[in-house]
Amino acid sequence: MNKLRQSFRRKKDVYVPEASRPHQWQTDEEGVRTGKCSFPVKYLGHVEVDESRGMHICEDAVKRLKAERKFFKGFFGKTGKKAVKAVLWVSADGLRVVDEKTKDLIVDQTIEKVSFCAPDRNFDRAFSYICRDGTTRRWICHCFMAVK
């Protein structure tokens, strides 16, 4: 009787963690390996930071850049500091940020120098990464806003 009752019950879906779904990320992985993985972003800028990792460090950098942008916009009117519309290219070798209009290279970063990357909990579309600057050997946080 118990087997009959169990056969009529609805079976629950088994939860599969996102990391265990390789088919979901396969196209992105191929794009990174071939160097054809790009994302439209707004480049907020970069800030020197004291530490090489930590979400709070990245979030503080985004807050500083956004506050600075608001300050300059209020101080200088419409000629304030604007975020640059750009394209973030991700490859196995590094990260490149290219200005969308002028096609100028804004950032060219090797993967080996990137120490931390994080989304921002305060702003939905914001993310940033911390890296070691090649010439000054200082920790720099580059901040972005996703466009789509």
Average pLDDT, the chain: 82
Report yes or no: 89 and 37 within 8 Å, Cβ to Cβ: yes
Measure CA of the first residue to CA of the last residue in the chain; give whole Å.
Answer: 55
Dihedral over alpha carbons 23, 24, 25, 30 (to 10 degrees): 50
Q: How far is Cα 42 from Cα 53, in angstroms, rounded to an integer?
A: 22
When mean pLDDT is compared over 14-28, 32-46, 130-144, the highest value belongs to 130-144
pLDDT tens per residue, range 64-87: 998 877 655 555 555 456 789 999
SS3 of 132, please? strand
Report yes or no: 107 and 95 within 8 Å, Cβ to Cβ: yes
Q: How confident is the model at residue 30 (pLDDT cuts 50, 70, 90)?
A: confident
Burial environment of residue 61 by CB neighbours within 10 A (0 to 12, 13 to 18, 19 or more): buried
Helices H, strands E: what count in the chain?
Answer: 3, 7
Domains and CATH numbers, the chain: 40-146 (2.30.29.30)
pLDDT tens per residue, range 98-109: 999 999 999 999
Residue 107 pLDDT: 92
pLDDT tens per residue, range 88-128: 999 888 999 999 999 999 999 999 999 999 999 988 899 99
